Amino acid sequence: MTIITAYIDEATAERLRLIAEETGRRCEDLAESAIAEEALRYFRARSDDPGQAAPLPSAAQRRIAREAAL
């Protein structure tokens, strides 16, 4: 698993905070989903997708795994 630190501007932070509040999700979960969706979109029509054989765990499963590793 890769850990990414992302710095975002204040406007994006406020948008993300409001989305998280309205959807009942954590900001980190929203960011993880956005990254996963963009990576999937990039490889969608390619045959060399390195993640094709590996099932994508849900955000909740990733969080549980992260917390268990602490």
Reported as a single tens digit per residue, the pLDDT across 22-54 is: 999 999 999 999 998 999 899 998 899 888 877
- The three-state secondary structure class of 2 is coil
Is it the case that residue 18 has pLDDT exceeding 90?
yes
Task: Please state the pTM of the whole predicted model.
Answer: 0.67
Say which DSSP state 56 is in. Answer: P
The whole-number pLDDT of residue 55 equals: 67
